[in-house]
Structure 1
Amino acid sequence: MFQILTVLLLEMQLSMVSALFTVEVPQQLYIAEYGSNVTMECRFSLNGSVDLRLLTVIWEQKRQDSSKSKGVYTLRNGKVVPPSQDPDYIGRASLLHSELKLGRAILQITKVKITDAGSYLCLIDYQGVDYKYIALEVKASYKRINTQVMRKTDEDKIVFMCQSEGFPLAEVFWRNEKSFNLSGLANTTYTLTADGLYNVTSTLTLKPNTNENYTCVFWNKKLNEETSAHLALMSAQYSRQKLVMSFIIPTCVTVAVLLSALIIFQKRKTFQNGQPRKEKKRKRNPSLKDENSDDLNPQTEALYLPTVTASRDSGIVGL
């Protein structure tokens, strides 16, 4: 109520000083993306430097679906008035004080919500009173479409699903590769999220056809925006194949490693136990001599050495 009375009083003063003091807006319409930041500006005439102690700036918002206005930001006689700010704007709306000395009252709103859309009053009192209205539109494009392909085994049918969030409410169209309109066979529903976004879900149920791909299109008429996603029955089959392969491949690798280890073990065992027969014979009967060996056994050496010694003494070399 206090804000309304203030506006009425200022409007009465306006008729007397309008020729001396004016407020202008460089832009009457702002369009902001949901979740982004936006700055809205109004300018006021100056006669020299600005004395902030004499300056009052009021920003209020009024939604189209509501008769009540919200206090966005108030600067009275150079001082911020926190109690006048609506809880929805606490921590998100601020005034760029550095620009006031240039005759610019710039309102900045961060993390824009759907509920921020509406008409904004910019009222300035500085040796005169004037105000202007600025419109803010908030859009939320249906950028990301979640898709899913499911099989109804009991009915032998395939369900194609597309889901996305955005604002305003979008229409959903379905078509196949031949651009035939299948929207009449689809079931589309929506709910409102806590942030004011539309959660739109559309399903198309058909008999299995592996040779066809399908497309869902989210059409935002107000923003003239179109977002689409492609779906195919192969995606469901691929998911099953991927699940099977994720089990088969590790199993095959494990079996291959075990077989390789077994083969290596057998080869080592064969190498250790598979010596030549003559080695085995020599181990069984150490007195046997290898036919191809020139080495002498201990007994032969004992007989041979005396003979060689005697022969040397007699001057005869025995071979």
Structure 2
Amino acid sequence: MFQILTMLLLEMQLYVVSALFTVEVPQQLYVIEYGSNVTMECRFPVNGSLNLGLLTVVWEQKRKDQLKPKEVYTLRKGRALPPSQHHDYTGRAALLHSELKMGRAILQITSVKIRDAGSYLCLIDYQGVDYKYITLEVKASYQRIKTQVMKKTGEDKFVFMCQSEGFPLAEVFWQNEKNSNLSGSVNTTYTLTTDGLYNVTSILTLKPNMSENYSCVFWNKELNEETSAHISTLGLYQLEFVQDRE
């Protein structure tokens, strides 16, 4: 009878300890620029000096388009388990061990890629078990827009081209100096790069006004972000005029 009572009391104590053990996250959503670094954090109670040999930390990533989660970083009983780490995170994901003694399990990912976006599980086993989820979103602004303009051979029309890479997929609009949308012949296409970026190319063909400048506008609806580039035909007109005089 005494042994049964002791076991019941022990189970009750373990339940209370586990119930008091709670993992918290100071930030649930991170929006990070492609190619930059990110540190995501979850916190756990230490209650005195940390006994590293009792600590297990598991970080996993889950995306809607993958069947099973990717192991980002695992510390089991105070020891890192690099062989179990998914190859997508090899050399890029690390746990900041110096912060563990303060109850901070901080995951650092360098050179963030589009495929790093998703839901991250932070599980802590230390005198109790608990976990939380953190969401990582990755954006890539269409900041660098390459432009080109050429005159169609034997015609009085010009071909304008704008090309840029980013994420998510952007729409492209063409405008003149009066900010009026142009109704000329526009052809916008895109391909996916190996890094998961959208390579967007937009071509406008029309007979321009000699004195006007034209703009291509990349509109990223999901990020509510707009970037643009300006193109002028004046240089080509001047070159054509010089060639005609010669």
Residue type matched to 1:218 in 2? F
TM-score after normalising by structure 1: 0.69
Residue type matched to 2:102 in 1? L
3-state secondary structure, aligned to 1:130: strand
Distance 2:184 2:67 in 1: 39
Identify the residue that residue 81 of structure 1 maps to in structure 2. 81
Task: Give deviations 1:157-176, integer Å, cap 9, x for gaps.
Answer: 10011110000000001111
Q: Which has the higher strand share?
A: 2
Distance 1:51 1:241 in 2: 81
Identify the residue that residue 202 of structure 2 maps to in structure 1. 202
Task: Give deviations 1:197-240, integer Å, cap 9, x for gaps.
Answer: 00000011012431221111000111111001111111334667
Conservation of the 8 A alpha-carbon contact between 1:185 and 1:204: yes
Residue type matched to 1:153 in 2? T
Distance 1:18 1:133, change over 3 A: same
Identify the residue that residue 151 of structure 2 maps to in structure 1. 151
Deviation at 1:68, TM superposition (A): 1.6
Task: Give deviations 1:63-122, integer Å, cap 9, x for gaps.
Answer: 122232100000000001112100010000000000000000000000000000000000
Identify the residue that residue 235 of structure 1 maps to in structure 2. 235
Task: Give deviations 1:115-147, integer Å, cap 9, x for gaps.
Answer: 000000000000110000000000000001111
Distance 1:157 1:103, change over 3 A: same
Conservation of the 8 A alpha-carbon contact between 2:184 and 2:205: no
Alignment map for 1:28-43 (pairs within 5 Å): 28-43=28-43
Q: Taking CA–CA contacts closer than 8 Å with sequence separation of 6 or more, which of the two structures ends up with the larger relative contact order?
A: 2
Unaligned stretches of 5+ in structure 1?
1-13, 245-319
Identify the residue that residue 64 of structure 1 maps to in structure 2. 64
Conservation of the 8 A alpha-carbon contact between 1:175 and 1:183: no
Distance 1:37 1:183 in 2: 42
Identify the residue that residue 311 of structure 1 maps to in structure 2. none
Distance 1:37 1:238 in 2: 47
Distance 1:155 1:17, change over 3 A: farther
Conservation of the 8 A alpha-carbon contact between 1:40 and 1:108: yes
Work out the percentage of aligned pairs sharing the same amino acid.
Answer: 76
Segment of structure 1 superposing worse, 184-193 or 118-127: 184-193
Distance 1:176 1:104, change over 3 A: same
Paired residues in the alignment total: 231
Distance 1:192 1:21 in 2: 45
Distance 1:88 1:209 in 2: 51
Q: Which has the higher helix share?
A: 1
Conservation of the 8 A alpha-carbon contact between 2:44 and 2:104: yes
Residue type matched to 1:69 in 2? P
Conservation of the 8 A alpha-carbon contact between 1:28 and 1:135: yes
3-state secondary structure, aligned to 1:23: coil
TM-score after normalising by structure 2: 0.88
Task: Give deviations 1:284-304, integer Å, cap 9, x for gaps.
Answer: xxxxxxxxxxxxxxxxxxxxx
Distance 1:121 1:238, change over 3 A: farther
Identify the residue that residue 140 of structure 1 maps to in structure 2. 140
Distance 1:171 1:120 in 2: 30
Distance 1:35 1:126 in 2: 34
Identify the residue that residue 179 of structure 2 maps to in structure 1. 179
Distance 1:240 1:92 in 2: 53
